Structure 1
Amino acid sequence: MGRKEEILNKIQILITNHFSTSEAAFAFFDKNGDGKLTKNEIKDLLKEAEINGFLRGIVSSKLIDVYDKDGDELIDWEEFKFAINEISDESK
């Protein structure tokens, strides 16, 4: 399993095992309740998914680069949902 697949798998396991829905996971990590995940909030998600500390900054930046469709450098619910669906598809 490559590094990317391993990280995506850990995120999938976190969301599946600890939250009833992906929306509940999003709400949990959206600490300020603004409907968007900041880079630091994404790092918190990655920490909970047991992603190595060194990699969290790199991975959070990459996730924003890939999934931030409106260019605000944040991940909103629709972008998060798209990412989770893609992660779910890749883990099959």
Structure 2
Amino acid sequence: MATKEIILNKIQILITNHFGSPEEAFSFFDKNSNGKLTKKEIVKLLKQAKISGFIRGIVANRLIDGYDKDGDGLIDWEEFKFAIDDISDKSR
């Protein structure tokens, strides 16, 4: 199974290489434009980041568990921004 660092690095690479900003990435994956990412939308982000299909659901759940500060089971913009900042800090 991929390590946490590898997964976080792949997410950072996706956002850095394919989007002009984290805001652009968030908007792209927020398909219903409700300002929150569902597990399904996060799984699509992970697929774009080339995370193995076998573990995408597990990783999505862990990302939600780790960054969903308001406990609604979704990732809003502030939570997403915190996650991206956290990923960037860990890759330095």
Corresponding residue of 1:17: 17
Runs of 5+ consecutive residues of structure 1 not aligned to the other structure: none
**1:56 Cα deviation from its structure 2 partner:** 0.3
Q: Match for residue 46 of structure 2?
A: 46
TM-score between both structures, scaled by the size of structure 2: 0.98
Distance between the aligned counterparts of 1:33 and 1:58, measured in 2? 24
- Residue 6 of structure 1 and its aligned partner are, at CA, apart by 0.2
**What displacement does 1:36 show?**
0.1
Deviations 1:25-81 (A, max 9, x none): 000000000000000000000000000001100000000000000000000000000
Higher helix proportion: 1
The residue aligned with 1:72 is 72
Pairwise CA RMSD:
0.7
Q: Secondary structure at 1:34's aligned position in 2?
A: coil
- Paired residue for 1:83? 83
TM-score by length of 1: 0.98
Unaligned runs of 5+ in 2: none
- 2:55 and 2:9 map into 1 onto residues whose CA distance is 15
Q: Which runs of 4+ in 1 moved over 2 A?
A: none
